[in-house]
Amino acid sequence: MSDRVASDYHSQVRTEAQDESPIALREAALRVGGRTLWADLDLSVGRGELVAVLGPNGAGKSSLIRVLLGQLALASGRATVAGKDPGAAGRDIGYVPQQKLFERGSPLRARDLVGFGLDGTEFGLPLRRSSRNAAIDAALEQVGARHFGSRPVGLLSGGEQQRLRIAQALVSTPRVLLCDEPLLSLDLAHQRAVLDSIDGFRRREQAGVLLVTHDINPVLHMVDRVLYLAPGGHRVGTPEEVLKGSVLSELYGVHVDVLTVHGRILVVAADGSVDGVHDHEEAS
């Protein structure tokens, strides 16, 4: 192969890799404990796109995140993350887990927690200290946490700790960001700060974002599409296409009304059987 041909070939490979969907699932099915959580799921999350995952407890929202992290295997179908098999994306993937507060006596410093996002993700030489510190400082700046970067995490509030988890997920400048209930237990001010950090990053870096949430309202202004998982199947589309009574009635098998009250979307079932559709889920 000539140098010119080799150069053109490698340029084509790089272009194709850049054009791949950050997240893609094809005819995907997941079974846990003998129960099918979802099946025939086709989903592509494009560059710079944010898709919110909604649904009741036990529908498999958090389990979808675990599939993309390589922690759960699909029963059938295929999933890729940053063009690779789940679990092989390394620094191309950032993950924000459900909030769990650190013990008050923890000696771990805030910037050390953020630095974990650069460690143990792939083989090879580690970053130079100066480059590593610069990356951590930049991530702290993105989430408005630079001023408490040297404090022990156990002395920080829940909202401050969650900002650090966002920074940890962003520090490697990933192509994919997976967020599992990032707003739980946060007040409105900290919710806004966390969402602004996520939204700013995905627009700036054109990262694909999959965000699991029990309530669409705080993220409605930044969502491109919705994946709704429910007992009767799933739907993918814009919020206007999915969050309407006819669609949710079909997914739940009972009559459901979707109301807009003071700019907030409310889901109401005629017989009350969908109570808790926006409740917190522990293992779903």
Instruction: Provide DSSP, 153-197.
Output: GGGS-HHHHHHHHHHHHHTT--SEEEEESTTTT--HHHHHHHHHH
- For the chain, how are helix, strand and coil distributed in percent, rounded to 5? 35, 25, 35
Name the CATH topology of 90-174. Answer: Rossmann fold (3.40.50)
Q: What pLDDT does residue 126 have? A: 56
Q: Per mean pLDDT, which range of 50-54, 117-121, 207-211, 246-250 is the poorest? A: 117-121
Lowest mean pLDDT among 64-73, 104-113, 143-152, 270-279: 270-279
Identical fold for domains 1-82+176-189+202-284 and 90-174, yes or no, is yes
| Tens digit of each residue's pLDDT (9 = 90 or more) over 23-63 | 999 999 999 988 999 999 999 999 999 999 999 989 999 99
Task: Compare 121 and 280 and report the one with higher pLDDT.
Answer: 121
Instruction: Please give the CATH topology (third level) of the domain spanning 1-82+176-189+202-284.
Output: Rossmann fold (3.40.50)
Domain ranges of the chain: 1-82+176-189+202-284, 90-174
Question: pLDDT averaged over the chain?
Answer: 85
